Structure 1
């Protein structure tokens, strides 16, 4: 029989550690002068001087920052999976039934991801207009400057981030908790979206607002489809398109 209480306590420890790490990461991408950074999240192609200036204000070079993301996300994901296994939580509670991998759910994830990218761009412009703070520093700091770096980002880092965050914030905090404790999935969707927003504090106030809104849409999609795969695909596309459209890759 699943040990829901023990699993919930374990999830609380993982979530707390993740939020503390997110708070600490704000210092990694902090500017020595806030005026040096533009305030938009998207819809701006970064030229070389501005990109170099942004990187100069980060405390970690891009490869080290990407490695830090891979290690931290892998550790948290491993802890979460081990906790779920020890507590006997069934995969179906996370939205990982056989039907979750069907073409309709994959297609829904693609459509949702592309749509949310567009919404993300609009929200970023609004954040810029109302002075909600810088939300590009982390993205710029993580943007590679080589083909190999882009391969690592798009094929390893971003899939890992999307998989872990959706497992935690949608699969566990919404799906598993609704199944294990009989709570409303919509209430859990709202609560998990708040945690998801504050988990992205390194993106600034604009990033927190936009991420919270996008998080709720992803949670709603998870509740409606019951598929973790759908929201993982959507999450990945939002992140990947954000990097590709705004940072791009040039061999120059």
Structure 2
């Protein structure tokens, strides 16, 4: 399968899964505010977008640091999936940055942060931080294709995103941050061919 078809397949598969989950949330009447969607400016307004951008850049730098630490310890994690999804040509990059990565960010944040942390917290009557840990473990295990070190790094990223969701109560913040982490990683290493980490 060509990179373009693979990107399209990922976008469609994730999009369908996300649509089913969103339909389920609507059917069962899950309140939007527990999913991180409200009328507050920090939830859906420009402040949320700006916080998400800053948060995403910080998380990307953290990912690069983690990559550097892994490399220095001789425990490099598998980047085969990123290389497999690396696009060819302007159209491929447009598909990646304009469809596949946004869809992944929206669906994964809806599942692991909005649903597992936001929706379950009031039902379970527990601390959102407990569910942040649970969601982070699930998020990490869902990225097993990146190897054991990649799972650990992704688990840390997942907890950081969960913390961002708990503190801001905004789905938009973590969606933007998640998108930027992925987009910057692809642009830096597959687009511009920079080393991993970029300062090595």
TM-score by length of 2: 0.91
SS of 1:247 mapped into structure 2 = helix
**1:179, CA displacement in angstroms?**
2.3
Partner residue of 2:99?
156
Aligned length: 191
Give CA deviations for 1:62-87 in whole Å, capped at 9, x if unaligned.
12321221122012101111111111
- Return the match for 1:171 from 110, 114, 139: 114
- Return the match for 1:78 from 16, 19, 22: 19
Q: 2:192 and 2:133 mapped to 1: Cα distance?
A: 36
Q: 1:149 and 1:218 mapped to 2: Cα distance?
A: 28
Q: Is the 8 A contact 1:145 1:249 kept in 2?
A: no
**1:146, CA displacement in angstroms?**
0.3
- Return the match for 2:128 from 178, 185, 188: 185
Structure 2: runs of 5+ lacking an equivalent: 194-200
Partner residue of 1:238?
181
Q: Is the 8 A contact 2:8 2:95 kept in 1?
A: no
Q: 2:155 and 2:146 mapped to 1: Cα distance?
A: 12
Give CA deviations for 1:72-104 in whole Å, capped at 9, x if unaligned.
201210111111111111111100112111222
Partner residue of 1:64?
5
Q: 1:205 and 1:69 mapped to 2: Cα distance?
A: 23
SS of 1:229 mapped into structure 2 = helix
TM-score by length of 1: 0.73
Q: 1:244 and 1:81 mapped to 2: Cα distance?
A: 30
Task: Return the structure number with greater helix share.
Answer: 2
Please give the root-mean-square deviation of Cα atoms over the aligned residues, in Å: 1.4
Q: 2:39 and 2:100 mapped to 1: Cα distance?
A: 26
Q: Between Structure 1 and Structure 2, whose CA radius of gyration is higher?
A: 1
Q: Is the 8 A contact 1:133 1:205 kept in 2?
A: no
- Return the match for 2:61 from 118, 124, 136: 118
**1:249, CA displacement in angstroms?**
5.9
